[in-house]
Amino acid sequence: MRLILIGYGVVAQSLTKILTVRKQEILKRHKMHPRVVAIVDRGGLALNPKGLDLEKVEATKKKYGSVAAIPEYGSPGKTAQDIIENLDAEVVIEATPTNLNSGEPGMSHMEEALKSGKNVVTVNKGPLALALPALSEMATYNDVHLRFGGTVGGGTPILDFGKKCLSFDKLIAIEGILNGSTNYMLTEMEQHGTTFEEALSEAQDKGYAEADPSLDVDGLDAAAKLVIMANWFTDKEVTLKDISIKGIRDIKPENLKEASERGFAIKLIGRIDEELKVGPAELRKSDPLCIGGTLNAVKFQSEFAGDEIIIGKGAGGPETASAILRDLLDIREKM
Burial class, 76, CB count within 10 angstroms (exposed 0-12 / middle 13-18 / buried 19+): exposed
| DSSP 8-state code for residue 247 | -
Assess whether 225 carries a catalytic annotation.
yes
- Residue 105 sits at the vertex; the CA angle it makes with 103 and 111, to the nearest 5 degrees, is 80
Q: Assess contact for 148 and 157: CB atoms under 8 A.
A: no
Residue type, 172: I
| DSSP 8-state code for residue 6 | E
CA neighbours within 13 Å on the CB side: how many for 132? Answer: 29
Q: Counting every residue, how long is the chain?
A: 335
User: Can you tell me the distance from the alpha carbon of 183 to that of 307, in angstroms, rounded to the nearest whole number?
Assistant: 22
Active-site entry in 225, 267, 277, 299: 225
| DSSP 8-state code for residue 185 | H
Give the residue among 128, 265, 264, 248 at the shortest CA–CA distance from 195.
Answer: 248
Question: Which residues participate in catalysis according to the annotation?
Answer: 225
